[in-house]
Amino acid sequence: MNKAFCKEPEQSGRPLCPRCGAEGQVVTGATLEAHVSAGDAETLAEPVAWCDTESCPVAYFDSLERSIDVGRASGIHWPKDPAGVLCACHGLTCEDVDADLAEGEPQRVRGIVRRAGEPGAECALRSADGRSCVARVQRVYVRRLSGGR
């Protein structure tokens, strides 16, 4: 078999955020369009990536160092929007996680993890970073469990 066909294309370099320099998470055009205006979406060329750095004001950017700030995007989830939801699909919030911790039983978190894995769940499309909410929900849970915000 020709080696070229086995090569991982993404190894050659994921786009780096022009503001903070972190590696971005490539998103689909559908994800981008779900969170910015059509006019803004047109200003970026594929591959478009999401900046996952908590303190960075950039939401999306492309390999030509053009970017769209969080303030111009909508439906941004925690932690870039500290008051934002964790799961844009099912509406889980940080308060829900706090309630779970207060009750000592992660019922809400378990429910979301279960529902996110079901067919028809749109977490990946509705999440600004194009990924399922499960990793994010677990991140908050573990962080709060250890006393962090």
> Which lies closer to Zn ion via its Cβ, residue 19 or residue 144?
19
Which of 16-24, 42-50, 87-95, 108-116 is the region at the interface with Zn ion (rule: CB under 5 A)?
16-24
CB 143: neighbour CB atoms within 10 A? 14
Residue of the chain from 14, 19, 131, 143 that contacts Zn ion (CB under 5 A): 19
Which two three-digit tokens encode residue 142? Answer: 């573990």
Nearer to Zn ion, 51 or 76 (CB): 51
**Structure tokens given for 44:** 């970026």
End-to-end CA separation in angstroms for the chain: 51
Phi-psi category of residue 48: left, alpha or beta, with phi > 0 → left and psi -120 to 50 → alpha: beta
Nearer to Zn ion, 65 or 95 (CB): 65
- Residue 55: its H or E element: none
For residue 29, the minimal CB distance to Zn ion (Å) is 20
Residue 76 touches Zn ion, criterion: CB under 5 A: no
Residue 56 contacts Zn ion per CB under 5 A: yes
In terms of DSSP bridges, do strands 48-50 and 67-69 run parallel, antiparallel, or are they unpaired? Answer: unpaired
Q: Which residues bind Zn ion (CB under 5 A)?
A: 17, 19-20, 51, 53, 56, 58
